[in-house]
Structure 1
Amino acid sequence: MARNRDDFDKFQMTSMRDSSIGLLKLLLILIFFVTGVVIGLTSNSHITWYFSLQAEQRYNSYALAPSSSSSSNNSYNTIEKLDCSSIIDDYVHPKTVTHSMSDDELFWRASMVPKKEEYPFTRVPTVAFMFLTKGSLPFIPLWERFFNGHEKLYSIYVHSPPGFDLNVSTTSPFYNRQIPSQIVEWGSVTLVDGERRLLANALLDFSNERFVLLSESCIPIYNFSTVYNYLTGSLHSFVESYDDPSRYGRGRYSRSMRPTIKLSDWRKGSQWFEIHRSIAVAIVSDTKYYDIFRKYCKPSCYPDEHYIPTLLNMLYGSLNSNRTVTYVDWSIGGPHPAMFEKSNVTLGFMRNIRNNGTVCGYNSDESNVCYLFARKFSPDALDSLLGMASTVMNF
């Protein structure tokens, strides 16, 4: 009995000791937990304060500018205002024609048309003179005289073979006016590509209202003021577009173009056009008709003589005069017009081109001024043309 009592007392003492140890462990765990929480909160507050300070310092360094009275009155900062006028000016009047856009990117960019009719700047309509050349421009001295004194009323774009450097002085209006180009081949759709490339680059300048396509053998036959007023005052574009029933017209049509382009839609005309801005946008935006020409208008079709005349006939006939403003002599026959050499260039010859009795429609009236430019002139005619520019062409 006594032994049983002793065993019970030992068991009781062991249980109490175990309970004390368990309570002590629990207390230690609680102390460690509370200490960890306190340390964590303290560390977090310091970290938050550090990063907040860093963010504030960076904001003050990059986004804020000290006010003029901060040193004497207070330490407040004011946000620096951004001048957007230069950004808008660069957008609507690009200062350079060089860029890295592909044709698809360029045409997409050029096809953008603002919905708001009013411009947020004073817009003076300008004429884009676009030169599609095989190389050099032999009549640059004549054109420089033509442009002189009218710098705010025109812009120049030159599409020459890739890698060709147009060697002109830094004071020439042709300086740095070569656009990114690609190879073009006579009689192929690449000629149309060159035309569209010129139009797209010229459309990037929102002041360009009229667009003239010229070659290296073209010359002006009136002074700048006459040409400018004639083009900007016209209600129509000047694209030759007519139905030629011969094998040189309808004979080039492919039945594969049906039903999008029918034979009755097919038109022919001079490559050398002058168009309004709205027509230029339509041409660079077009994929429906252009893709058909690219696929079915092969070299014997001469797409440069049919694409734009057909497009305008189908969609914009009421906006076109159906005539060209560039004089060309086809009387000798063959695939190329007559070449005017130095011996041909006389006072009488030039006066006859300017006024040969031809009467043409201009807006709702008739006019004796039907041609503003002429081609094809041989490079050796330059001196003769310069000699009579002031007396015949009045510039």
Structure 2
Amino acid sequence: MQGMVVVDGAGNGKDASTNNPTTTRPPPKLLRPLLLVAVLATAFLAAVVLLLGAGAGAGMTSPALPNLDALRRPAACARNEDKEASSASGLRRWTRAPASAWHNMSDEELLWAASWRPSVRRYPYRRVPKVAFMFLTRGPLPLAPLWEGFFAGAGSRDHFSVYVHATPGYRPNFPPTSVFYRRQVPSQVTRWGDPSMCDAERRLLANALLEPGNERFVLLSETCVPLFAFPVAYTYLTRSRHSFVGAFDDPGPHGRGRYRPALAPEVRRSQWRKGAQWFELDRALAVDVVADARYYPKFREHCRPPCYVDEHYLPTVLSVEAPDRIANRSVTWVDWSRGGAHPATFGAADVDEAFLKRLTSSAAADGEQRSGKERPCTYNGQPAEVCYLFARKFAPSALEPLLKLAPKMLGYGGGSTRNNSAAKRIG
């Protein structure tokens, strides 16, 4: 438009023609509002970017840069790979083992968490069954070096896990390389002959059930030793169709004489059974034990000395509820031949080649010694040459001769020379 007035930097008006656009400028009164709007818009955009960045850090979703590798792949392949990666990531939180056995759950919370089980029996991932070795101890594990040699035979920790229930306040001093490192579970005080002993057993089971890979659960004490190399014990337990719980009917004062009428109607006198404390269970029965709200409360209340929960609860209840699922014997050898309320304890003077040979030979297959009756040992319904995988009770003084003889006689430990043929004898 002709006649537009252009204001120069000095504020003098000059006649100019619109035919020269390079000389036209907006009036200063319009420039200031435009600059203000530009500054405000820039500040607003910066604030939006900061908010989006903070939201993404807090878990909000934000646009991602394109995946160049995905662009180079066929669409069908990309979808399949993304689906598999997402599935693996989602399952990992359910299937991975906790780094430590410690937690802050109460017993009530622990038993509840451990009682969960999948309704779908087929696992949607490659599951390697583990054996959970559960140590019920007052404190130190004096035979730990022997067990370290035993577990070294596993090759890796993919086939076993370890749990230790010790006196509250006990602080073990195992190095990070030890299989016992950070494997202590939250515990309570236990007393011999008291229901608290069985409480501790259920607590150990519940802690071990938190790891989905654990399939077999064996209870041990600080006085137990393994009689064979790890591959033998692992194969024996994971291939068994039964759990190893001893149960027999003792009509005498130390058997049926301990029955309490208050246990009826859940348990009748004719159903009362007795057995060894040192059990081995498969996962299904272990879940049943920690979830038991029918039998255990009554046992805990009414089975008091001279009735002992740890000798009667599992043998009786599993004989009633799952008689076909237990082998009716233990896999832990003990010697009751000396009489008394406790089995024999073996020290350094007792441990020699002849003694260990007797424990690992078929001569040890003598059924439940305390039952007073010799019964043939079977495995998966067939006569078995290997009946016991562990033995007790061994004093701390037995450690040195055991470490010396284990490579030759038991098949594990440094420089093992024994060709352990027990695995071939497992049916």
Aligned to 1:170: 176
1:83 shift after superposition: 6.2
Question: Are residues 1:146 and 2:150 paired?
Answer: yes
Aligned to 1:253: 259
1:259 shift after superposition: 1.2
1:88 shift after superposition: 3.5
Aligned to 2:385: 368
The aligned runs of 1:44-83 (5 Å cut-off) are 58=51, 61-62=55-56, 63-68=60-65
Per-residue CA distance 1:150-175 (angstroms, 9 max, x = gap): 42110000000011011111100100
Supply the distance in 2 between the matched residues of 1:216 and 1:302 (Cα, whole angstroms).
Answer: 21
Supply the distance in 1 between the matched residues of 2:399 and 2:159 (Cα, whole angstroms).
Answer: 25
Find 1:112's aligned residue among 104, 116, 120: 116
Aligned to 1:188: 194
1:120 shift after superposition: 2.8
Supply the distance in 2 between the matched residues of 1:94 and 1:119 (Cα, whole angstroms).
Answer: 19
Q: Segments of 4+ in structure 1 off by > 3 A?
A: 53-61, 64-67, 81-88
Supply the distance in 1 between the matched residues of 2:339 and 2:142 (Cα, whole angstroms).
Answer: 25
- TM-score (normalizing by structure 1): 0.81
Find 2:92's aligned residue among 86, 89, 92: 89
Find 1:220's aligned residue among 199, 212, 226: 226
Give structure 2 stretches of 5+ with no counterpart.
1-43, 68-82, 366-375, 413-427
Aligned to 1:239: 245
Supply the distance in 1 between the matched residues of 2:101 and 2:91 (Cα, whole angstroms).
Answer: 17
Per-residue CA distance 1:185-214 (angstroms, 9 max, x = gap): 100110110000000000111111110000
Per-residue CA distance 1:11-60 (angstroms, 9 max, x = gap): xxxxxxxxxxxxxxxxxxxxxxxxxxxxxxxxxxxxxxxx9x99997456
1:299 shift after superposition: 2.5
- TM-score (normalizing by structure 2): 0.75
Give structure 1 stretches of 5+ with no counterpart.
1-50, 71-80
Aligned to 2:320: 314
Structure 1 residues 132 and 87 mapped into 2: Cα distance closer, same or farther (>3 Å)? farther
1:165 match: secondary structure: coil
Structure 1 residues 131 and 86 mapped into 2: Cα distance closer, same or farther (>3 Å)? farther
Supply the distance in 2 between the matched residues of 1:139 and 1:238 (Cα, whole angstroms).
Answer: 24
2:162 match: secondary structure: strand
The aligned runs of 1:324-335 (5 Å cut-off) are 324-335=330-341
Per-residue CA distance 1:211-234 (angstroms, 9 max, x = gap): 000000000000000000000010
Find 2:134's aligned residue among 126, 130, 133: 130
The aligned runs of 1:254-269 (5 Å cut-off) are 254-269=260-275
1:91 shift after superposition: 3.0
Of residues 111-120 and 334-343 in structure 1, the stretch that sits farther from structure 2 once superposed is 111-120
1:306 match: secondary structure: helix
Aligned to 2:407: 390
1:87 shift after superposition: 6.0
Supply the distance in 1 between the matched residues of 2:257 and 2:276 (Cα, whole angstroms).
Answer: 17
Normalized per residue, the structure richer in helix is 1
Q: Kindly provide the amino acid, as one letter, of the partner of residue 101 in structure 1.
A: M
The aligned runs of 1:339-358 (5 Å cut-off) are 339-357=345-363, 358=365
Structure 1 residues 142 and 87 mapped into 2: Cα distance closer, same or farther (>3 Å)? farther
Supply the distance in 1 between the matched residues of 2:183 and 2:243 (Cα, whole angstroms).
Answer: 24
1:69 shift after superposition: 6.1
The aligned runs of 1:288-307 (5 Å cut-off) are 288-307=294-313
Q: Kindly provide the amino acid, as one letter, of the partner of residue 68 in structure 1.
A: L
1:121 shift after superposition: 2.2
1:377 shift after superposition: 0.3
Question: Are residues 1:377 and 2:380 paired?
Answer: no
Supply the distance in 2 between the matched residues of 1:366 and 1:69 (Cα, whole angstroms).
Answer: 65
Find 1:281's aligned residue among 264, 287, 290: 287
1:355 shift after superposition: 1.2
Aligned to 1:77: none
Q: Kindly provide the amino acid, as one letter, of the partner of residue 61 in structure 2.
A: L
RMSD: 2.3
2:400 match: secondary structure: helix
Contact 2:244 2:280 in 1 (8 A): yes
Per-residue CA distance 1:346-375 (angstroms, 9 max, x = gap): 100011011143351100211111100000
Of residues 359-368 and 384-393 in structure 1, the stretch that sits farther from structure 2 once superposed is 359-368
- Count of aligned pairs between the two proteins: 336
Supply the distance in 2 between the matched residues of 1:67 and 1:206 (Cα, whole angstroms).
Answer: 35
Supply the distance in 1 between the matched residues of 2:120 and 2:101 (Cα, whole angstroms).
Answer: 26
1:89 shift after superposition: 2.6
1:96 shift after superposition: 1.9
Per-residue CA distance 1:119-157 (angstroms, 9 max, x = gap): 232100010000000110011000000001242110000
1:107 match: secondary structure: helix
Supply the distance in 1 between the matched residues of 2:101 and 2:86 (Cα, whole angstroms).
Answer: 24
